[in-house]
Chains A and B, each alone.
Chain A
Amino acid sequence: MSGYSKDQLIGQPFSKFFTDHDRAQAGIEKVLAEGGLSNYDLSVATKDGREIPVSYNATVLRDPDGRITGVLGSARDMTELKEAEKELRGAGAYNRSMIEASLDLLVTIDPDGKITDANSATEVATGCSREELIGMDFSDYFTEPEKAREAYQHVFQEGSIQECVLQIRHRDGHFIPVLYNASVYRDEAGEVIGAFAAARNITKVTEAADDLKHSVQDLSRSNDELEQFAYVASHDLQEPLRMVSSYVQLLEKRYKGKMDADADDFIEFAVDGANRMQVMINDLLSFSRIATRGEPFKPTDCENVFDRAISNLQTAIKESSTTVTHDPLPTVTADRGQLEQLFQNLIGNANKFCERRKSTPCINVSCERIEESAIPVTKSGIDNGWIFSVKDNGIGIEPDQVERIFGIFQRLHTREQYSGSGIGLSVCRKIVERHGGRIWVESEVGKGSTFFFTIPGEKNEE
């Protein structure tokens, strides 16, 4: 081992062959004084300058009278063991540094809920040192200790817990919302010896969620105010408008043809303007009533609703010789009157924009479950409920107009071509949105349009 020959070794002082001569000498003295030693670490200095860690075991040799005659020493080469130890230390340091580097709060707890280890992120979040944390009850650091206790009990019973929201109470009193994931870990025999819990500081996420909640509340409030405003404005505007309209009509009735031609023209424009405004105010009023004067949702038979809508439209349908058909329609949870209005507006619209010259106008209403439909959720907006369609073979809509048609008082044609104030489809959208669904149209110019709308199903309806 030393690289020296037997001849070179014999007769030399023992300590000469070790890196630490003094320690080697002390070893010999210890053997002589105590009669032996075991596992005494030394390093052999080899002839070619290397060092070999060894572990010495030695015992004294005595003659029959008990006098010491020599020492029997044996050394075991510890190189591999030392290397392994070094590696282990390195690995331990590596693991520890990983744990300490984590920005998530990492702790281990024993089955009694006592903290057995914690990383520096946990120290920062609690304001307590690792030494203070170890041995304390895990639940003590939370604003709701009972909930924390339930959480780790759950971990030891079920093996793990996911996304448990808790709030840490920092020593200085401020709170930190965290999201816990934890699972048990086991010894070599498979026995649960503790739980490893990792928590993420979700302060920013929570703040963002709160901001969002406030924004939604603000938006909803301003929306309510706007609806109220539209209602009050349109309602209260009716009164003065009634005066304008009535007296202009009275003027027309009494004085038409009695003044000059200009006067007749002026009166006619005034009457026409007042009439149109009256229609618009009325429409606006009924539009705002969708939100402010809606009825509660009840199970509603759509076949029945369809029949009523058709009966309201019968004069117009007869006039255009349109065939209106429908597939089996379900019972949905809805505001009955509004659903009738929705059907009536969509069918009435399809009937109005039918292509009379080319072919027989046809309108078909159908419905399927969203789950069974090929239409993606990104389009339907909901994943549970019904998807209705109203299909016609009418004039169709230009692709760049398909969004515009749902706006209030938006018209694609002149009043001379097609009558109406342009409120119908915005009423449809408002009704569908009040029910939590979506409405859209797919159309091809000259071939026809299909209006789709979705109505959510009851959560427990199956």
Chain B
Amino acid sequence: MTNKVLGPQGREIEILLVEDNPGDARLAKEGLKEAKIINNLYWVKDGEEAMSFLHKEGEYVDVPRPDVILLDLNLPKKDGREVLADIKNDEHLKRIPVVVLTASQSNDDIAKTYDLHANCYISKPLGLAEFIKVVDAIEGFWLTIVKLPPA
């Protein structure tokens, strides 16, 4: 891979993916592999793990603070909506942009997640090409255009 660049902060971008479906996680990983910005993708499979990661508990003592979180809504153990609420109620975490990436197209889910201060809501596209487009768009917008808060 050529033409890889560092993020706007002059370093690699740290991304946390909260996703229970390995197929989806792998797709995100494959998509981000082709991203221009050098990024490190961390993958956790449920809400509890996500909170441990963010609080640097247990095996996550040495992980970095993520620059952006990609969050699925339907998760085992701790639901994505609860994870979102916890993040947005936490003084130290609430500035991290949360991109809700879910299969749900329900208007209720959309309204509810924005009420919980999600930074954006994206329905998982059906095809690979669209999925890659979404990953590109996330990269282009959240990792390039947007000024992220200082860590």
What 1/0 mask marks residues of chain A from 265 to 294 whose CB sits below 8 Å from any chain B CB?
000000000010010001000000000000
Complex contact B23–A247 (CB within 8 A) = yes
Interface string of B1-33 (1 = CB under 8 A from A): 000000000000000000001011001001000
**Is there an interface contact between A242 and B126, defined as CB atoms closer than 8 Å?**
yes
- A245, CB-defined interface residue at 8 Å: yes
Contact A245 B30 (CB under 8 A): no
B27 / chain A contacts, CB cutoff of 8 Å: 246-247, 250
Residues of B within 8 A of A246 (CB): 23, 27, 127-128, 131
A243 within 8 A of B: yes
Complex CA gap A246/B103 in Å reads: 14
* Cβ–Cβ < 8 Å partners of A275 in chain B: 127
Asked if A238 CB lies within 8 Å of chain B CBs, one says yes
Q: Is the CB of B128 within 8 A of A238?
A: no
Query: What total of A-B pairs shows CB separation below 8 Å?
Result: 34
Query: Of the candidates A239, A241, A245, A282, which one forms a contact with B128 in the assembled complex, judged by CB atoms under 8 Å apart?
Result: A245
A249 within 8 A of B: yes
**Can you name the residue of chain B whose Cβ is closest to the Cβ of A254?**
B30
Nearest Cβ on chain A to B133's Cβ, whole angstroms: 12
Q: Does A253 contact B (CB under 8 A)?
A: yes
Contacts of A247 in B (CB 8 A): 23, 27, 128
Q: Which B residue's beta carbon lies closest to that of A247?
A: B23
**Interface on chain A toward B: helix, strand, loop, or mixed SS?**
helix
Query: What residues of B have a CB within 8 angstroms of the CB of A241 in the complex?
Result: 126
Could you say which residues of chain A place their CB within 8 Å of the CB of B127? Answer: 245-246, 249, 275, 278
Q: Determine chain B's interface SS by DSSP, over half rule.
A: helix
A253 in contact with B103 given A243-B23, A246-B27 (CB within 8 Å): no
Given A243-B23, A246-B27, check contact A253 B128 (CB 8 Å): yes
Q: CB of B129 within 8 A of chain A?
A: yes
A33 to B103, CA, bound (A): 122
* Known interface pairs A243-B23, A250-B30; A238-B131 also in contact (CB < 8 Å): no
Categorize the interface residue count of chain B. 10 to 19
Inter-chain contacts of B128 with A (CB < 8 A): 245-247, 249-250, 253
Q: Chain A, 45-87, contact with B by CB distance < 8 Å: what is the 0/1 string?
A: 0000000000000000000000000000000000000000000
Q: Which residues of A contact B24 (CB under 8 A)?
A: 243
B118 to chain A, nearest CB (A): 21
Complex CA distance for A44 and B93, rounded to whole angstroms:
131
**Within residues 47 to 103 of chain B, which ones have a CB less than 8 A from any CB in chain A?**
103
Q: How many angstroms from the CA of A246 to the CA of B24 in the assembled complex?
A: 9
B86 to chain A, nearest CB (A): 26
| Docked pose: A275 CA to B127 CA in angstroms | 8
Instruction: Give, as a whole number of angstroms, the nearest-CB distance from B131 to chain A.
Output: 6
> Whole-angstrom distance between the alpha carbons of A253 and B24 in the complex?
17
Chain B residues with Cβ under 8 A from A253's Cβ? 128
Please name all residues of chain A whose beta carbon is closer than 8 Å to the beta carbon of B126 when the two chains form the complex.
238, 241-242, 245, 278, 282
Q: How far is the CA of A239 from the CA of B27 in the complex (A)?
A: 13
B124 → chain A closest CB, angstroms: 7
Closest residue of B by beta carbon distance from A274:
B127
CA distance A371 to B85 in the complex (A): 58
* CA gap between A282 and B131 in the complex, in Å: 17
If A239-B103, A246-B23, A246-B128 are given as contacts, then 17 extra A-B residue pairs at C-beta distance below 8 Å, sorted by A number, are A238-B103, A238-B126, A239-B21, A242-B23, A242-B124, A242-B126, A243-B23, A245-B126, A246-B27, A246-B127, A246-B131, A247-B27, A249-B128, A250-B128, A275-B127, A278-B126, A282-B126
Shortest 6 CB-CB distances between A and B: which pairs? Answer: A249-B128, A243-B23, A246-B128, A278-B126, A250-B128, A246-B27
